[in-house]
Amino acid sequence: MKYVHCFGLGTMPFANMKDKTGLLFFDGKREMIYRDLGDPTSVLARVVEKWDESIRPIGEAYSNGSLTWHEITARYGSMSLIDFLHQEKWTTELIEGFAKYGIGFGACKSLLELSFHEILRIAVKNMDTKNFQLEGGNESLVNSFLFDNHIPLNSNIEYGYKVASIEQNPRGRYIVSGGAACKAYECDHVIVTVPLPQLRSITFDPPLRNELSDTINNTHYVKAAKVLLQTKSRFWLKHGVDGMMVSDLTIQNTFFAPAFSSSTKGLITASYVWEHQAEKFFALSDEKKIKLAVDELKQVFPEMEEEFERGAAVEWKQGFCIFRPGQGRMYHKTLREEALPGIFLAGEHCSVEHGYFEGALETGLRAAANVFRSVDEKFIDRFDKFVTCKTPKWTTEDVGYEIGNPQ
């Protein structure tokens, strides 16, 4: 938020299924979400009520100090989401409803086998209560970093450079190389921000310790797929829809974008799905992904065929990190330590904000601070004097794992 403010970026609300204008589409029938939420006998209403009943005591205990985050981690760190639901005596009907509808961001079936600790942190710290997006898209923040007149990072970036090796020379400095045909860089320190699956393709000499290599090879990454459609207008508004749709279609989770000041066109994230649901898209070409999305949305909105203009599709076989049960305690500390003397890792996988900008930014700041500290031992003591905003305190309180040094 500090960067959003510094760069003068605009924000707008981000819709989720809790909004009154959201839609359900199951068994060929369209139903406004607020109607199901307002009917205490509906499965969706009972799922939301049961989730609140299960989570609220943990949040209240954390808020009043009777339960520390370390204690929460010890109790739930090795538990999957489905384990927690069973522990809370959820019925089969409610578990199926949870998987089918979710509790705010779409169907949750893909989350059931993942770490409950990841989902719990978002719920307990109320991170799912107020959501927004950047006007002009997330790239507006990226472009602000790249092209800001005071910090011209774009001119300091070499694009299209695939790092092949990071090797220490006899003088103790690191040689970063992209292969024989590429320019090599000699460095005192290196911050490596690539996702862990790509990190496996980089050769290190001296080699990484076994503990870190195991972490790199075994940390779970979520599969994901997205299909986006441009339409002539925001026609869904005529149906009273303006937010999210959850359905039993292949596209499953659909987001209708708010109006953009620069265009009268409509934009739909027709599908954003994870894990097994994303795999259904992997075998399809981009053209077939787009056609599938258009054909399925025609079942909901008949005018979709006439409104559709063009589409785009993207998929991630290994999109972003979300730990499996127990992986946080095994891997988090390792990812935040020096990879080798003078080499630090950064990226959302090194944070507790997996999958989010916030995690990437926090770990970039932490890695930069650790580089400065390795040059100037008193740097951390003077750190607050250098900054103009409240900086995160990189301690164990908000993490739940023993991270040791570096902070």
Q: Establish whether the linkage from the previous residue to 206 is cis, with ω within 30° of 0.
A: yes
Q: What's the CATH number of domain 160-220+329-377, 3.20.20.70, 3.50.50.60, 3.40.50.720, 3.60.21.10?
A: 3.50.50.60
Residues of each domain in the chain carrying CATH 3.90.660.10: 221-321
Largest CA distance in the chain: 72
User: Under CATH, what is the fold of the domain 34-130?
Assistant: Guanine Nucleotide Dissociation Inhibitor; domain 1 (1.10.405)
Which letter, b or e, does each residue of 314-331 get, where b requires 16 or more Cβ atoms within 10 Å of its Cβ?
ebbeebbbbbbbebbbbb
Strand segments (E) across 100-183: 132-134, 165-168, 174-177
Q: What pLDDT score was predicted for residue 90? A: 97
Which amino acid belongs to residue 371? V
Q: Is the Cβ–Cβ distance between 340 and 208 less than 8 Å?
A: yes
pLDDT tens per residue, range 74-119 = 999 999 999 999 999 999 999 999 999 988 778 889 999 999 999 8
Q: What is the CATH number that goes with domain 221-321?
A: 3.90.660.10
Q: What pLDDT score was predicted for residue 148? A: 81
Q: What values do phi and psi take at 199, rounded to 5?
A: -65, -25
Mean pLDDT of the chain: 88
Q: Confirm whether pTM is higher than 0.85.
A: yes
Element (H, E) at 273: strand 266-274
Least confident of 52-61, 239-248, 291-300, 396-405: 396-405
